[in-house]
Amino acid sequence: MSLSNDCINGQLRDEVADLRARLDEANETLRAVRSGDVDAVLVQGPQGDQVFTLKGADEPYRVLIEEMNQGAVTLSANGSILYCNRRFAELLKTPIEEIVGLEFSAFVAPSERASFAVLLEAARMGGSATEITLCGGNKSAVPLQLALAPLPAECAASICLVATDISQSRKREEAKDRFLANISHELRTPLNGIIGFAEFLVDGKPGRLNAKQKEYLDDILNSGKHLLLLIGHLLDIAEVGAGKMKWNPEKFSLRKSIEETCAVAKPIGQKRGIHINVAVAPELGDVVLDQKRFQQVLYSLLSNAIKFNRDGGEVGIRAAMHDAHRLKVVVQDTGTGIKTEDLPRLFKEFEQLGPGARHYQGSGLDLLLTRKIVESQGGEIGVESEFGKGSSFTVVLPLAMAEGFDLDL
């Protein structure tokens, strides 16, 4: 029995040694392939011996890259173009030989180069995507959707970039925005007439109206003003979407601006016993922002906090520096709160969330417009909420202190 076990153990050692030899041979083959020491690999199998050339193995992928409908680019770690396919050259209307070797940022529209630098840095860390405008060979603007990701290589890290032409979708969006803007302007004229005549009847003949007539006219006025506000929101959304909203950065006192906005909203809260508390960090004095848009954003969040608050509740506004160049404003309420599963719907069109939301008059566009205004200025908006206990909205905006006045909107 002992002799038999020795034979078995010896056989197993031989088989393990054979497997190790084959593994070493396979690893040596892979090393040779990677280093370029071989041009072909001979594979033995049940169908007989087959020769696979490295060129043949690589060719399908090269054909795929060259024939794909998106532009494909390989960048060095510092952003130089190492390779681009035929489609990318077509998008730029520039010969490939005039593209390879240049910095990719040389083709980026000057106003977007700073944001591309941030995009490139994010790509080095793990990937990023955005819409951007490149300047082609005939100086025409080429709107593209860019996706970047790191491309590990043995010699040096590089970045893979895929560019998708979005000019047609941009044109469709611009046509929709123009239509919306034109319709908004056309609706305003007759609506202003209706409101004007209703106000004339209310103010001009107060003694000749009975209670029912006065009630009807008040309904006409309130409905007309609500429609006018809705049209204004639609027009603002169209302008933001088309990139046509005008920004007017100016120097102003942040505390005074917040207090002015609160004074407008205060009567709404007083009817339900809701108190507004304001806390502004001492170091925040004069800042440079578009004051009109800042107050528009703050009023939207403030009115929302009052609308969905409980009677006798509180609204807190806190303003402080988020970092060296960004302002953070938090609007917190003690209201109904929002369920976690409903949060993704919060900034969408015509959405009102919370118990009895439809009881409140509103277009459902306030928070959507607020998000668009904040993001179009390079800012961020977020919300945290606990159902039944209240919500907290945070806005972060880039700003310049008055001494610098270097804000680029």
Q: Give the rounded distance of the alpha carbon of 297 from its chain centre.
A: 17
How many angstroms separate the CA atoms of 403 and 21, rounded? 73
Phi, psi angles (nearest 5°) of residue 70 = -100, 155
**Region of poorest pLDDT, from 64-68, 74-78, 207-211:** 207-211
pLDDT-based confidence at residue 362 (cuts at 50, 70, 90): very low
- pLDDT average, residue stretch 130-147: 83
Give the E-state strand segments of 39-157 in sequence order: 40-45, 48-53, 71-76, 81-84, 128-135, 141-151
What is the Cα–Cα distance from 32 to 39, expressed in whole angstroms?
9
Q: Supply the pLDDT for residue 327.
A: 92
Helix axes 366-376, 291-307, angle to 10 degrees: 150
Q: Can you give the pTM of this predicted structure?
A: 0.50
Position 84 pLDDT exceeds 70: yes
Alpha carbons 302 and 297: distance in angstroms, whole number = 9
- Confidence check: pLDDT of 13 > 80: no
17: phi then psi, degrees, rounded to nearest 5: -65, -40
Instruction: For residue 350, give both structure tokens.
Output: 């015509």
- At 222-251, the pLDDT tens digits run 778 767 777 776 777 666 666 666 677 888
Q: How many CA atoms lie within 13 A of 115 on its CB side?
A: 18
Pair of tokens at residue 166: 């979005």
Q: What's the pLDDT score for residue 311?
A: 92
Q: What is the mean pLDDT of residues 263-278?
A: 88
Across residues 201-227, what is the average pLDDT?
77
Instruction: Name the amino acid, one letter, at 328.
Output: K
Give residue 63's identity as a one-letter amino acid code.
V
> What is the per-residue pLDDT across 365-375, written as a single tens digit (0 to 9) for each?
678 888 888 88
pLDDT value at 255 more than 90: yes
- Banded model confidence at residue 189, pLDDT cuts 50, 70, 90: confident
Q: Are 387 and 315 in contact (CB under 8 A)?
A: no
Average pLDDT of span 128-153: 82
pLDDT for residue 6: 65
Mean predicted lDDT score pLDDT of the chain: 78
Assigned token pair, 179: 């239509």
Reduce the DSSP state of residue 91 to 3 states and report it: helix
* 317 or 401, higher pLDDT: 317
Query: Can you name the residues that pair with 103 across neighbouring β-strands?
Result: 80
Give start and end residues of each alpha helix (H) in 205-278: 211-241, 254-270
pLDDT of residue 206: 60
Lookup: tokens for 61: 């992928």
Q: Strand 286-289's sheet: what is its strand order?
A: 250-253, 286-289, 400-401
| CA atoms of 331 and 367, how far apart (whole Å) | 13
Query: Shortest CA distance to 35 belongs to which of 207, 157, 133, 154?
Result: 154
- What span, in angstroms and rounded, lies between the C-alpha atoms of 123 and 150? 6
**What is the structure's pLDDT at 313?**
93
Residue 350, pLDDT score? 42
Mean pLDDT, residues 137-152: 82
Q: What share of the chain is helix, strand, coil (3-state, %, to 5)?
A: 50, 25, 25
Q: Between 89 and 235, where is the model more confident?
A: 89
What would the pLDDT profile of 153-178 be if each residue is shown by its tens digit?
645 568 889 999 988 887 887 777 77
Contacts with 6 (C-beta within 8 Å, 6 or more apart), sequence order: none
Q: Would you identify the CATH topology of the domain 250-401?
A: Heat Shock Protein 90 (3.30.565)
Which of 131-135, 205-209, 216-220, 273-277 is predicted most confidently? 273-277
CATH of 69-165, one of 3.40.50.300, 3.90.550.10, 3.30.450.20, 3.10.400.10: 3.30.450.20
Strand bridging mode 314-321 / 275-280: parallel
pLDDT of residue 169: 83
Torsion-angle region of 79 (φ positive above 0: left; ψ -120 to 50: alpha; else: beta):
left
Q: Looking at residue 34, what is its pLDDT?
A: 54
Host H or E run for residue 400? strand 400-401
